Structure 1
Amino acid sequence: MTAAPRTTGSGTSRPAASPDVPPARAGRAEAARFVAARTVPGFARPRAMRAYAATLRALRARHGGAPVLVRGLSGTVLVLLDPQDMRQFYAEPVSCPAPDAQDPQAPQDPPDRPDPPDPHKSLIRRDHERREEQRRINDQVLAAGAPVHPSCGPFLGVIAEEARHLTAADTLRLARARSAVARTGRRIVLGDAAAGDEELAGWLSRLRGAGNWPGLRKARGRAARTVYDRTTARIAEYAARAEPHTLVGRARGHADPAGQACHWLLAMDTVPGTLLRTLLLLGAHPAEQDTAAAEARAAGARAGGAALGELPRLRACVRESLRLYPVVPDLIRVTRAETEWRGVRYPAGTSVLLPALFHQRDPEHVPAAHVFVPGRWTTPGADRDIRMAPFSHGAGRCPGDQLGLLVTAALCAEVLRGHRVAGGRPVLDPPGPLPATLDPQGIRLTLTRR
């Protein structure tokens, strides 16, 4: 069992161990391999991810599974290598949660380069209060925890209309998926009037780009602020006349619906890649594809939108795709108070890294870790399995997880109801281990009519 966290009010930002129990530390060679595997360019990612997993396994073996301090390029992180420490990670109060599945639009700083906690307690308190208010709005508008969103019917109508773009040709690639999902997202968030607003789409793309390059963020700060102001002004125009079922329509009366809508639109960026990966995996597993297609046809034949919104088997396929290829492979949090991990005390401001992809594909703790097995998500309690966290756990769980599953599964259903994924690139080997990464830029699906 994990030791209970202790809070003492310590405020230093440099990890310091208990005088009785020294912390486990990675050696220079181990730290070098850890950093190298996580900072290689995109073309070398598959090999780098395998090297990263091998480095983490070696650290776990050498230190008996204890959390290990690893020195990165810009600071030290406490890396959690054993599943027994995950529950405490998800339960810990944090000052600076890293971007993960519930916040994909946040600036993507490298996991070993967290922003330090603000020394001014009043600023921390105000920032915490702001995040709590945003969380409350998100939970309400996104219907957090509800498998079928209250606006499910209108949303499914939008998805059915926009999914026609996905099957307009016999080949489906990322550009087409992005266009269809972007139109879907704008209609769900802002209403039908925003469907074709490509200028808004361009501004959102620039904001995403500015946030994802931390080294350039300061230089781009003024330009990014100008783009952000234009974006929120345009969103406010749509929000003023949006249909009641839209997300901004449900957010009326809150302090900053435009800012939240920007947040929701950017979060939609994760859907196209997940959609393509899920369909590619189904194309490589014909029996699973037939089961999913049968579910889609049966749900479409039943009256009412709720049945189509549930789609338990297709949702399981999406979850399994996210287990194998999570939006963010590493999660990092910065502790707000002194905490204890396995008998070692660390001060407030300690950066704690959970390598989520490593744990989700860890053959020592996850059966068939490198194989596509959607059925694992249909067993009772699977959604609460601490080893697997496509949408995180605890207070940091994504409030839009169910809506994201609804949209992605329904898009898959629209494709599979009338078409079969008859071929795909890259070619996958179902019996063997699936590749460590699947870049959606390289995915090409061949569709044939059923």
Structure 2
Amino acid sequence: MRTVHEAALDPLRSGSGARGGGGRAEAVRFAATHTLPVLVRGFVSGGARGQGTHPCAAPARPRWSAAALRALRERHGSAPVQVRGPAGTALLLLDPQDLRRFHTEPSGEPRGARRWIHDEVLAAEAPVHPSCGPFLAAVAAEAPLLTAAGSLELTRARHTVARIGRRIVLGDAAAGDEELTSLLGQLRGGRARNARTVRTLHDKAVARIRQYAAQAAPHTLVGRAARHGDPVGPAQDWLAAMDAVPATLLRTLLLLGAHPAEQDAAAAEAGGGACDARAELPRLRACVRESLRLFPVVPDLVRVTRTETEWQGERHPPGTTLLAPAAFHQRDPEHVPAAHVFVPGRWKAPASDHDMRMAPFGHGAGRCPGSRLGLLLTSALCAEVLRGHRVESARPVLNPTGPLPMTLDPQGIRLLLGHR
């Protein structure tokens, strides 16, 4: 029977660790290449309410991190490894067989009211969001901003997506309210210097959101949320979630630019059909999902057990932190075919939604409730760009046959667009 090993990962500790004998060199390597970069990204981008990792934060060094994780797996076998780092102790899951339990086993924690509102308003279980039509109309109305300059980079993508996000969440009247986005960004980014400033920023943002919510159309997210209670808190979450879209959009288009045949097929799909039909966009959705597999927004998935659990013969008390390194598993060449190559066709298989190795949105009760809406918006934006334009050249230059780089910093992506 496999056993749980413990590796000493605190670089300030000396000597070997507890069971498993993780030595100092292994400790420094893991902490420097995996634990610390994650914590730094969270510190830089985490807000007062703990929003988590910003998708556009400076990337960690996942190539080293993957090497460290492979070394741990080679050293300890496929057993979970108990690791100690600056954030405390966690049980690191390196075997794909453990991922199904991580994603599907009940945690013992009832679904909170906030999560319930997210599930209902974002239509987490619906194939297509009930407000699909108005949302796609907002995308179509704002999308020309993406291609107006003949090139596309992160600043323009962020500006356009922020306008779309405000229209979808708060209504058309909020489309140009960049001050609100700035207020929320300051709160999430922890840039306020004292509690009084935080309170002032918070009160101004809340007042602005309430003003829009009072006149929002029923199809908007705050309009849909109004029937379930105060929409202000969830609205801040939804506006923050839009931050993930620009980077994913740029990475997907960059990958398509490096694969002309795939780009032409996606453009052909984007060019036909009515609004509801375009909402499906199966080929483009597969491209977006493959982009997220290669470059996930959230590289590590974490959950905390609420009851005593047993992993491979070892019992662990309630409150044990489970860490599933999603980015590592999604690009693990030992278990994922063509792990470092852009292969959107892998997502067309019926079983792809249930492949526990692939978790760009999570699985089970921990699945992101906005995953379907996020795919809808990102694929629709890709379609709007490709309908009249093509990515003719791009920076950085990617090797179409791979292996692709481990990171793609969206700050460095620049796409040159030509007319079709």
Question: What TM-score do the two structures reach when normalised by structure 1?
Answer: 0.82
Partner of 1:405: 375
Partner of 1:439: 409
Q: CA distance change for structure 1 residues 236 and 91 in 2, over 3 Å: closer, same or farther?
A: same
Partner of 1:34: 30
**2-structure distance, mates of 1:145, 1:184:** 23
- Once the 2 structures are TM-superposed, how far is the Cα of residue 223 of structure 1 from its aligned partner? 3.2
**2-structure distance, mates of 1:288, 1:221:** 51
- Once the 2 structures are TM-superposed, how far is the Cα of residue 264 of structure 1 from its aligned partner? 0.4
Q: CA distance change for structure 1 residues 74 and 133 in 2, over 3 Å: closer, same or farther?
A: closer
- Once the 2 structures are TM-superposed, how far is the Cα of residue 25 of structure 1 from its aligned partner? 5.9
1:377 aligns with 2:327: no
Partner SS state of residue 318, structure 2? coil
Partner of 1:102: none
**Which ranges in structure 2 are unaligned for 5 or more consecutive residues?**
4-17, 42-56
Q: Which amino acid aligns with 1:375?
A: G
Q: CA distance change for structure 1 residues 139 and 223 in 2, over 3 Å: closer, same or farther?
A: same
Partner SS state of residue 404, structure 2? coil
Moved more, 315-324 or 243-252: 243-252
Partner of 2:83: 70
Q: Percent identity?
A: 67
2:206 to 210, 232, 242: 232
Number of equivalences: 388
- Once the 2 structures are TM-superposed, how far is the Cα of residue 406 of structure 1 from its aligned partner? 0.3
Q: Which amino acid aligns with 1:61?
A: E
Q: CA distance change for structure 1 residues 193 and 232 in 2, over 3 Å: closer, same or farther?
A: same
Which structure 2 residues correspond to residues 216-365 of structure 1 after superposition, within 5 A? 220-298=194-272, 302-303=273-274, 305-365=275-335
Partner SS state of residue 278, structure 2? helix
**1-structure distance, mates of 2:297, 2:389:** 27
Contact 1:174-1:273 at 8 Å conserved across structures:
yes
Partner of 2:362: 392
- Once the 2 structures are TM-superposed, how far is the Cα of residue 351 of structure 1 from its aligned partner? 1.5
1:156 aligns with 2:136: yes
Contact 2:304-2:322 at 8 Å conserved across structures:
yes
Q: Which amino acid aligns with 1:194?
A: A
Partner SS state of residue 91, structure 2? strand
Partner of 2:46: none
**2-structure distance, mates of 1:167, 1:36:** 40
- Once the 2 structures are TM-superposed, how far is the Cα of residue 93 of structure 1 from its aligned partner? 4.4
**2-structure distance, mates of 1:290, 1:421:** 10
Once superposed, what is the RMSD of the aligned Cα atoms? 2.2
Q: Which amino acid aligns with 2:403?
A: P
1:172 to 136, 152, 161: 152
Higher normalized contact order (CA 8 Å, seq sep 6+, divided by chain length)? 1
1:197 aligns with 2:149: no
- Once the 2 structures are TM-superposed, how far is the Cα of residue 92 of structure 1 from its aligned partner? 4.2
- Once the 2 structures are TM-superposed, how far is the Cα of residue 23 of structure 1 from its aligned partner? 5.9
Query: Which digits, 9 at most, give the CA deviation of each residue in 1:22-43, with x for residues without a partner?
Result: 964633321211110033589x
Q: Which amino acid aligns with 1:26?
A: G
- Once the 2 structures are TM-superposed, how far is the Cα of residue 145 of structure 1 from its aligned partner? 2.5
Which structure 2 residues correspond to residues 106-145 of structure 1 after superposition, within 5 A? 132-145=112-125
Which structure 2 residues correspond to residues 97-112 of structure 1 after superposition, within 5 A? none
Contact 1:142-1:403 at 8 Å conserved across structures:
yes
Partner of 1:53: 66
Q: CA distance change for structure 1 residues 385 and 252 in 2, over 3 Å: closer, same or farther?
A: same
Query: Which digits, 9 at most, give the CA deviation of each residue in 1:365-396, with x for residues without a partner?
Result: 00000000000000111011000001001101
Q: Which amino acid aligns with 2:256?
A: L
**2-structure distance, mates of 1:378, 1:225:** 48
Query: Which digits, 9 at most, give the CA deviation of each residue in 1:232-264, with x for residues without a partner?
Result: 221111001011111111111222211111110
Query: Which digits, 9 at most, give the CA deviation of each residue in 1:99-140, with x for residues without a partner?
Result: xxxxxxxxxxxxxxxxxxxxxxxxxxxxx66x6211221111
Partner of 2:188: 208
Q: CA distance change for structure 1 residues 49 and 146 in 2, over 3 Å: closer, same or farther?
A: same
Q: CA distance change for structure 1 residues 45 and 57 in 2, over 3 Å: closer, same or farther?
A: farther
1:89 aligns with 2:112: no
- Once the 2 structures are TM-superposed, how far is the Cα of residue 146 of structure 1 from its aligned partner? 2.0
Query: Which digits, 9 at most, give the CA deviation of each residue in 1:134-175, with x for residues without a partner?
Result: 122111111113232111111111100110000101110000
**1-structure distance, mates of 2:291, 2:102:** 23
Contact 1:26-1:68 at 8 Å conserved across structures:
no
Contact 2:392-2:416 at 8 Å conserved across structures:
yes
Partner SS state of residue 216, structure 2? coil
Contact 1:25-1:69 at 8 Å conserved across structures:
no
**1-structure distance, mates of 2:97, 2:66:** 18
Contact 2:59-2:409 at 8 Å conserved across structures:
no
**2-structure distance, mates of 1:285, 1:145:** 33
Partner of 2:395: 425
**Which ranges in structure 1 are unaligned for 5 or more consecutive residues?**
4-21, 96-127, 211-215
**1-structure distance, mates of 2:216, 2:358:** 37
Query: Which digits, 9 at most, give the CA deviation of each residue in 1:295-328, with x for residues without a partner?
Result: 0002xxx33x210111010000000000000001
Query: Which digits, 9 at most, give the CA deviation of each residue in 1:257-298, with x for residues without a partner?
Result: 111111100000000000000000000000110110000002
Q: CA distance change for structure 1 residues 422 and 53 in 2, over 3 Å: closer, same or farther?
A: same
**2-structure distance, mates of 1:202, 1:317:** 31
Q: CA distance change for structure 1 residues 282 and 134 in 2, over 3 Å: closer, same or farther?
A: same
Partner of 1:14: none
Partner SS state of residue 371, structure 1? coil
1:367 to 325, 332, 337: 337
